[in-house]
Amino acid sequence: MTDAQLWAAVLGFLSPPVIAIVQQPRFAGPLKGVVMLLWAVIVGLGTAYFNGQFSGSSITTCMLTAVLVIGVAYHTLWRPSGIAPRIEAATSSGGRQPSGPQAV
């Protein structure tokens, strides 16, 4: 793995709480997926650019790495622990509270 891909993986792992700030509990699943994909594009572009590897294949690989790591981190750590849902609820304009940790 290149430095850019490793940075995309690290930032992807730390991204679910940041994404949860933007997302709202009332958002439909597809909209939440779009928000995550847009964030992964930003992470991929940024890591490729700041590591001097701003070319087609490197950008694509960084974006795909970010998508994969964000999804795995969210479903294995951030959602089951209840951290991401609590952040969503706390930053929600509707004020709906999560029901606690959810099973995977």
Averaged pLDDT of the chain? 89
pTM attached to this predicted model: 0.83
Residue extents of the structural domains in the chain: 3-27+36-90
Confirm if 69 and 9 have CB atoms less than 8 A apart. Answer: yes
Amino acid at 5: Q
User: Once rounded to an integer, what is the mean pLDDT over residues 66-81?
Assistant: 96
Among residues 73, 80, 76, 84, the alpha carbon closest in space to that of 17 is found at: 84
pLDDT of residue 25: 85
